Structure 1
Amino acid sequence: MSGRVLVVDDNKVIRQLIRVNLELEGFEVVTAGDGAECLDVVHQVRPDVVTLDVVMPRLDGLRTAARLRSDPRTAHLPIAIVSACSRCDVEGGERIGVDAFLGKPFEPTELVRLVRRLMPARGPRAADARASTPRC
């Protein structure tokens, strides 16, 4: 296994698309339908990377990222926003400490590259991922 990814998106088709592409590359994938579910399962799943959509019911991606950053148990987790995000979303995510952004629609190879780059990102590599943020 290349690592565990928690994929959070309210769109089941997008969750499955991301899951399949990452599993084909050897990642273990766990999914959640929104930010509230993400916060419920993140401590049991203990992912290496979290991908978040921005627009979701109950708890959106940016508020979920902020909650993950404020919890000492998940503050270190690499977080990627995978969403049709606006400049405002990107700026908000950067303030929160999101590590990377990938705009929808995306190429599967871009997604895999982004997750690989963040995977062991405990320290300096997270800053490298942030410096080369993909289009959004």
Structure 2
Amino acid sequence: MPRASGRILVVDDNKVIRQLIRVNLELEGFEVVTAGDGAECLEVVHQVRPDVVTLDVVMPRLDGLRTAARLRADPRTRDLPIAIVSASTQYEVDAGFAVGVDAFLSKPFEPAELIGLVRQLAERGARSEPGTGAAADSLPRVRGLAGESETPAQA
């Protein structure tokens, strides 16, 4: 499979998890920038201009769901692909989709799942026109993407 490209902003308060995600994505050719919580994400997102953001849910200062809502409310980041990578409850999944999160990946995850999801989101973002909202229509359906129902065993 060809090497991926794109800049990914990984947001997680757990340094070990940030490094795990970073290493796996860098091995696939992605450029990775990290942030320790949602507040830091909002401080750097306009500077680094990522192609995809991955967010943990439970973080200090600003959690992942509120961060996602703020990214969706900002015209500059409204169409930015967002994936929640967290040990999420069904309530958090529902709340995430309600604020516009594109995908969920449950911890613990297989590195191949992470890479596949980020690759699809990055490709979708590259094909979409900023501000059109057309990106979601072109995203292939994979486990955990918006609009896909999951059984409790998968959630």
* TM interval, short-chain normalised: over 0.9
Q: Quote the offset at 1:131 in angstroms.
A: 4.3
Corresponding residue number in structure 1 for 2:146: 130
Q: Of Structure 1 and Structure 2, which has the larger fraction of its residues in helix?
A: 1
Structure 1 runs (4+) deviating above 2 angstroms are 124-136
Q: Any idea what the Cα deviations from partners look like across 1:33-77, whole Å, max 9, x if unmatched?
A: 000000000000000000000000000000000000000000000
Corresponding residue number in structure 2 for 1:78: 81
Query: 2 CA distance for matches of 1:110 and 1:133?
Result: 18
Instruction: From the superposition, tell whether residues 130 and 114 of structure 1 become closer, same or farther in structure 2 (CA, over 3 Å).
Output: same
Match of 1:61 among 57, 61, 64: 64
Output the TM-score relative to the length of structure 1.
0.94
Counterpart AA for 1:49: V
Query: 2 CA distance for matches of 1:58 and 1:70?
Result: 19
RMSD: 1.6
Counterpart AA for 1:88: Y
Contact 1:10 1:34 in 2 (8 A): yes
Query: 1 CA distance for matches of 2:21 and 2:85?
Result: 10
Q: Secondary structure at the match of 1:130?
A: coil
Query: 2 CA distance for matches of 1:42 and 1:33?
Result: 13
Q: Secondary structure at the match of 1:81?
A: strand
Q: Quote the offset at 1:132 in angstroms.
A: 5.1
For residues 73-112 of structure 1, the aligned pairs below 5 Å read: 73-112=76-115
Give % identity: 71
Match of 2:49 among 46, 65, 71: 46
- My pick for the range that moved more, 88-97 or 118-127, is 118-127
Count of residue pairs the alignment pairs up:
136
Structure 2, unmatched stretches of 5+, are 129-134
Contact 2:120 2:140 in 1 (8 A): no
Q: Quote the offset at 1:125 in angstroms.
A: 2.6
Instruction: From the superposition, tell whether residues 133 and 46 of structure 1 become closer, same or farther in structure 2 (CA, over 3 Å).
Output: farther
Query: 1 CA distance for matches of 2:84 and 2:40?
Result: 16
Structure 1, unmatched stretches of 5+, are none
Contact 1:101 1:133 in 2 (8 A): no
Higher Cα Rg, which structure: 2
